[in-house]
Chain A
Amino acid sequence: MELLTLSEATNWMVDNGISLQMLEILIMIPVIATLVSITRYLIGFKTFGIYPTIILGISYSFTGLRYGLAITMIVIFASLLTHKVLSKIRMHYITRIAVNYCLLVIFLSGALLLINKFGLGLENIENINPLAVVSIAALSDFFIKIYVKKSFKNTFRSLLETILIATIGWLIITRDVISEFLLNNIWLILLLIAINLSLGQFKGLRFIDNFRFKSVIKKKDDKPGQE
């Protein structure tokens, strides 16, 4: 990164106390947020919302995609399991969440131990940033909150959508060509604002609506039912 040729605006900011890494991550916030809004209103993604997607995307850039996805899977699996067990017990809401996190940490530690012993294609996992692991673990809360209200299928779909966008975020941060381009064109944030402003007025069908209402769109003018 040190070899980058920076635009004047970026150079000025770096000279005035914003580190390059800070700037890179800050830019990712509006980029991922806009990805969430575009996929929601044009395609029909649900996701877990903007915040968990941003956190996940940035965490992946610290852990690397392979480790990030592995930790995500462990977190989701552990959350589902503890949720199943705890739903049988009468207890206050916050205590339930707290126990969920206790069990989650036990699970994560166990998984890390297993990886250390058997490798499982995830060697050197001990070197990754603990804060990033914590951030991914926080996904548990979002997952369970939606899981309680919606079906497993719906929740799982939202999870996949969240991971997909986070992965795109990871891709943007880790591909130097893209992140360099973003760093040198900070004005792009204004473009993101413009995109969101116009998307905010969008009234057309979401891509997914075409599947939802397929039978209405393709409807032949026949008479319903029997005579």
Chain B
Amino acid sequence: MTNQDKSKKQDEILGLNRRNQEYVRPYNPPSAKSLADDKIRTKKVLTKNGINTPEVYKIIRSKQQLNHLDWDSLPKSFVIKPNKGTGGNGILVFYGKRKGLYEWIRPNGKYMNQKDILLHLENILEGRYSMGDRKDVAIIEERIQNDPLLKKYSYKGVPDIRIIVFNRVPVMAMLRLPTKRSDGKANLHAGAICTGIDVGTGITTYSMMGNYKSPLSDTYDLIDTTLDLKENLPLSGVQIPNWDDILEIAVKCQESSRLGYVGVDIALDAEKGPMVFELNARPGLGIQVANQAGLRWRLERVRGLKVKSLKHGIRLAKELFGGEVEESIEAISGRQVVSIVEKIKVYHKDWSPEKEKRKKDKLYEIQNAFMDTGFKTSRIDKGLLNRIGYDKSNTFFDNKDVPSSFETFSDAQTYIDENEKEFTEDENILRLAKIFEDGKIRVRPVFDVNIKISKEIKNIEMLASTRKEMTYPIVIGRKDSKGYLIDTTKTF
């Protein structure tokens, strides 16, 4: 990287100085800022504008109220928050109760009794966790029931989605996943994993977490998979459900709060759908690392644009900042409907339309293909690949001594960058790709394969998979399922 490239990249990044000078101060008037700093008032304003927020069970304003707290009326699971807290400080999550006792269980598995909870509530009232040193109010509210998809990725606690909205355009987004270290909280500073989200599609990209070994407090490590779950999963390529609704809610929050530049925190409830946790008038800058992209040029791109409506703002965001904009969003009509498991024809390497006409040999197999938008590139079982004429190329690849697995995706990418040429000497290998297979990061060859899906003959890129538990010999990824409507009720 030349120095010029480096300084260009530096110019794309938003630092604290510029955030405060150019965005927070001019676009967030003090009245709007004080609204965002007050969770109870924020809830009121948002509810009035038809936006869901977690239900409040109790608001405790004084020690007298604390003495009269009706413990029996508290549900099994709830969250305690300081009304004016920052950075996740003072938040306690409880997700179960010990039968017959006033003891609640925390994400770290420890029980907390009534006395300790009281002490914590008193500390909140004294303003210990709040901005400045003012007295504060404690909120006891509903614990979100995690959406089943995001639940798989987080260690207890509640994952949430942070979206930065400026001038009615959702500019950048990230998913925040609680970890063992963050104790159920989804704050970067508490130790949560942050994963960038492509604004265009709602699909996750890069991931990072705070590097707590570094003597500097604000440095991060890029990571590829979750770290402390029973079965760790790759973090990129996850499609956030209801993405368009989430973007819409984020823009609505900006409009109703009158904050020009805002970070909106949204959690997904299994039953109630997206719910807004809080608004942030000074959203943190770590989101740039999770997205591996700078905020500054995005904000400058949006500044001064005349955004006519909510939908317009979202369309702009998708066009300007979406990685791979999928045209499929635009026109639903005229799309082919395919089943989630679709029967397709897989053609032999030597197949050609002319040969098909002559009907001499049967140069194809009929196979079940599984539609999985969680993958980008389609996959094909290596055995099937051998049968349709790619056996020599597979052997060629196997003889090359590729490391069986890599530590990180960037290690794999470096290997690809350095060695790809050697592999493409084979007439059939197009390129190399990095994948997550059987719990490891691996490098696999990619081939051009002809298939017939829904009456259409297509030439698509497929990577050879040797995954042990591959239920279907072919998986069609999102690159190739574009333009199809996947019907989950229809199987054959």
Does B91 have its Cβ within 8 Å of any Cβ on chain A?
Answer: no
Contact with B along A208-221 (1 / 0, CB 8 A): 11111111111110
Contact with A along B72-99 (1 / 0, CB 8 A): 0000000000000011010000000000
Does A66 have its Cβ within 8 Å of any Cβ on chain B?
Answer: no
Identity of the chain B residue whose Cβ is nearest the Cβ of A92 in the assembled complex: B126
Contact with A along B216-236 (1 / 0, CB 8 A): 111110101000000000111
Does B409 have its Cβ within 8 Å of any Cβ on chain A?
Answer: yes
CB distance from B396 to the nearest CB of A (A): 20
Q: Check if A227 sits within 8 Å of B377, measured CB to CB.
A: yes
Contacts of A226 in B (CB 8 A): 234, 236-237, 375-376, 409, 433-436, 441
How far apart are the CA atoms of A90 and B413 in the complex, in Å?
55
Identity of the chain A residue whose Cβ is nearest the Cβ of B218 in the assembled complex: A212
How far apart are the CA atoms of A90 and B121 in the complex, in Å?
11
Does A107 have its Cβ within 8 Å of any Cβ on chain B?
Answer: no
Does A17 have its Cβ within 8 Å of any Cβ on chain B?
Answer: no
Q: Check if A224 sits within 8 Å of B206, measured CB to CB.
A: yes
Indicate the size class of the contact surface on chain A: 35 or more
Contact with B along A193-212 (1 / 0, CB 8 A): 00000000111111011111
How far apart are the CA atoms of A204 and B413 in the complex, in Å?
33
Q: Check if A157 sits within 8 Å of B237, measured CB to CB.
A: no
Q: Check if B18 sits within 8 Å of A224, measured CB to CB.
A: no
Q: Check if A216 sits within 8 Å of B122, measured CB to CB.
A: no
Does A15 have its Cβ within 8 Å of any Cβ on chain B?
Answer: no
Which of A69-77, A122-130, A131-139, A145-153 binds B? Answer: A145-153
User: Given the interface contacts A201-B21, A224-B206, A226-B236, does A93 sit within 8 Å of B219 by beta carbon?
Assistant: no
User: Given the interface contacts A148-B128, A213-B289, does A225 sit within 8 Å of B217 by beta carbon?
Assistant: no
For chain B residues 395-440, which have a beta carbon within 8 Å of chain A?
409-410, 413, 417, 433-436
How far apart are the CA atoms of A145 and B129 in the complex, in Å?
10
Identity of the chain A residue whose Cβ is nearest the Cβ of B11 in the assembled complex: A205
Q: Check if A216 sits within 8 Å of B288, measured CB to CB.
A: yes
The total of chain B residues at the interface (CB under 8 A) is: 65
Contacts of B86 in A (CB 8 A): 149
User: Given the interface contacts A201-B21, A227-B434, A227-B435, does A217 sit within 8 Å of B10 by beta carbon?
Assistant: yes
Does B350 have its Cβ within 8 Å of any Cβ on chain A?
Answer: no
For chain B residues 364-414, which have a beta carbon within 8 Å of chain A?
375-377, 409-410, 413
Does A41 have its Cβ within 8 Å of any Cβ on chain B?
Answer: yes
Does B264 have its Cβ within 8 Å of any Cβ on chain A?
Answer: no
Does B1 have its Cβ within 8 Å of any Cβ on chain A?
Answer: yes
For chain B residues 13-43, which have a beta carbon within 8 Å of chain A?
13, 15-18, 21-22
Q: Check if A224 sits within 8 Å of B409, measured CB to CB.
A: yes
Contact with A along B107-129 (1 / 0, CB 8 A): 00000000100110010001111
Contacts of A109 in B (CB 8 A): none
Q: Check if A219 sits within 8 Å of B128, measured CB to CB.
A: no
How far apart are the CA atoms of A206 and B294 in the complex, in Å?
15
Does A8 have its Cβ within 8 Å of any Cβ on chain B?
Answer: no
Contacts of A93 in B (CB 8 A): 126-128
Does A185 have its Cβ within 8 Å of any Cβ on chain B?
Answer: no
Q: Check if B128 sits within 8 Å of A216, measured CB to CB.
A: no
Which one of A157, A202, A208, A215 has the highest number of Cβ atoms from chain B below 10 Å of its Cβ? A215
Q: Check if A204 sits within 8 Å of B18, measured CB to CB.
A: yes
Q: Tell me which of A41, A92, A217, A223 contacts B17 (CB under 8 A).
A: A41
Contacts of A7 in B (CB 8 A): none
Given contacts A215-B208, A216-B294, 17 further A-B pairs with CB under 8 A are A90-B119, A151-B189, A151-B217, A154-B217, A208-B216, A209-B16, A211-B218, A211-B219, A216-B12, A216-B288, A222-B413, A223-B413, A224-B206, A225-B436, A226-B375, A226-B409, A227-B463
CB pairs A–B below 8 angstroms (15 shown):
A90-B122, A145-B133, A202-B17, A203-B22, A205-B17, A209-B13, A212-B220, A213-B294, A215-B289, A222-B410, A222-B413, A222-B417, A225-B237, A226-B436, A227-B376
Chain A residues with CB under 8 Å of chain B are: 41, 44, 90, 92-93, 145, 148-149, 151, 153-154, 157, 201-206, 208-220, 222-227
Chain B residues with CB under 8 Å of chain A are: 1, 6, 9-10, 12-13, 15-18, 21-22, 86-87, 89, 115, 118-119, 122, 126-129, 133, 189, 196, 204-206, 208, 212, 215-220, 222, 224, 234-237, 285-286, 288-289, 292-294, 375-377, 409-410, 413, 417, 433-436, 441, 446, 463, 477
